[in-house]
C-alpha cells in the first residue's frame, strides 16, 4: 500500500490528467467541454459529453 501523494506528485498527476483529457477532446467530437476546478484541496474535472438520447451528460473526476 502506498502513502498519500505529496503536493508535487499531485501536481504531476494533475498535469497528466489535463493532457489526457485535452487529447481526448481533440480526438472525440462527442466531448463538448472539459473544465477544471481546484478548491477545498480537491482537484475536479468536468467532462461534458454530447448524447443521443440526452443532450449533455457530465462526468466528474476528482483527485
pLDDT one-digit tens code per residue, 37-46? 998 889 999 9
Rounded to the nearest integer, the mean pLDDT of the chain is 91
Predicted confidence band at 1 (pLDDT cuts at 50, 70, 90)? low
CA distance 47 to 44: 10
CA distance 43 to 39: 7
* Enclosing H/E stretch for 16: helix 7-27
All cell numbers assigned to 40: 477545498
Give the C-alpha distances (Å, rounded to integers) separating 21 from 2, 31, 38, 55: 25, 10, 16, 20
Mean pLDDT of 24-28: 95
Cα first-last separation, the chain: 18
The answer to whether residue 35 scores a pLDDT higher than 90 is: yes
Amino acid at each position: 500500500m502506498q502513502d498519500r501523494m505529496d503536493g508535487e506528485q499531485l501536481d504531476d498527476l494533475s498535469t497528466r490528467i489535463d493532457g489526457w483529457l485535452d487529447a481526448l477532446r481533440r480526438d472525440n467530437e462527442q466531448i463538448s467541454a472539459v473544465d477544471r476546478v481546484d478548491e477545498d484541496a480537491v482537484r475536479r474535472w468536468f467532462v461534458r459529453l454530447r448524447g443521443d438520447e440526452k443532450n449533455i451528460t457530465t462526468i466528474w473526476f476528482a483527485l
